[in-house]
Amino acid sequence: MKAEYIKEDKLLILKITEEVDHHNCEKIRKRADYEIQIHIPKKVIFDFENVNFMDSSGIGMIIGRYKLASMLGGNTSMTNVKPAIKKVFEMSGVLKLIPIEEMERLGGTELEECI
């Protein structure tokens, strides 16, 4: 996973670079928790551009990071979610808590330069 922090906007982008399954979730969770706790961002964005597979353990991982960010006063969203993964989020009800947003709405050119 790659992490990008934009200090001016207090925006943390967590770009997941591997499958989100029970083998990788613990590693992703630890890194995301670390990044959220050191930066205390106002917004955390999970970028799923490079994710082709996610199982149910990914749902718990995402909800847990949502709760952590919320406790620290931030909010969470997702971007670049592929249709198969979006279906998992829809069926689990995650989208009621964590929205999927388009990259343009998340900072336009500044965000594109950072990734």
Does any domain span residue 37? yes
What is the pTM (predicted TM-score) of this model?
0.86
Q: Indicate the length of the chain as a whole number.
A: 115
- Find the CATH number of the domain harbouring 42: 3.30.750.24
Does any domain span residue 12? yes
- Kindly write down the DSSP assignment for every residue of the chain, as one continuous string: -EEEEETTTTEEEEE--S-BSTTTHHHHHHHHHHHHHHH--SEEEEE-TT---B-HHHHHHHHHHHHHHHHTT-EEEEES--HHHHHHHHHHTGGGTS-B--GGGGTHHHHHHH-
Q: Identify the domain containing residue 27 by its residue range.
A: 2-108
The per-residue pLDDT for range 44-94, each reduced to its tens digit, is 999 999 999 999 999 999 999 999 999 999 999 999 999 999 999 999 999
